[in-house]
């Protein structure tokens, strides 16, 4: 199985943008943005259900890492020394977020493949 990197990159951009719009601007859960983006990725790649899981999980992991890095940078800039002291705590929580978004991405990718099959 080959990874469709174009679909993954589009999914990552969609996940970050939708999560920002839904989470920050509309005050709805940002997780919904990740789910919608991974459903799109699963739909666009089609194929077997495992393709959806793998591509969706990739989108979840990559987008989560990017969002976490951006959050850590802004936390350090805004919080100064206090922002850097809680860096260790945020790294542990960040690992949990990556796992959570990988699972959500896999589910979304599978849903997208299921919809594409119909």
Q: What is the DSSP string of 69-116?
A: HHHHHHHHHHHTHHHHHTHHHHHHHHHHHHHHHHHHHHHHHHHHHHHH
pTM, to two decimals? 0.85
What is the pLDDT at residue 14? 94
Ordered per-residue pLDDT tens for the chain, 118 residues:
789 999 999 999 999 999 888 877 777 777 888 899 999 999 999 888 899 999 999 999 999 999 888 877 877 777 666 666 666 677 788 889 899 999 999 999 999 999 998 8
pLDDT at 85: 64
Q: Distances in Å between the alpha carbon of 7 and those of 12, 23, 33, 55?
A: 9, 23, 16, 8
CA distance 54 to 79: 36
């Amino acid at each position: 199985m080959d990874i469709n990197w174009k679909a993954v990159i589009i999914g990552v951009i969609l996940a970050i943008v939708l999560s920002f719009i839904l989470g920050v601007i509309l005050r709805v859960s940002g997780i919904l943005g990740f789910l919608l983006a991974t459903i799109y990725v699963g739909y666009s790649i089609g194929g077997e259900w495992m393709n959806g899981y793998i591509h969706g999980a990739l989108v979840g992991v990559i987008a989560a890492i990017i969002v976490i890095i951006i959050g850590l940078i802004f936390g350090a800039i805004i919080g100064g020394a206090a922002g850097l002291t809680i860096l260790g705590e945020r790294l542990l929580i960040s690992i949990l977020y990556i796992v959570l978004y990988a699972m959500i991405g896999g589910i979304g990718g599978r849903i997208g493949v299921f919809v594409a099959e119909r």
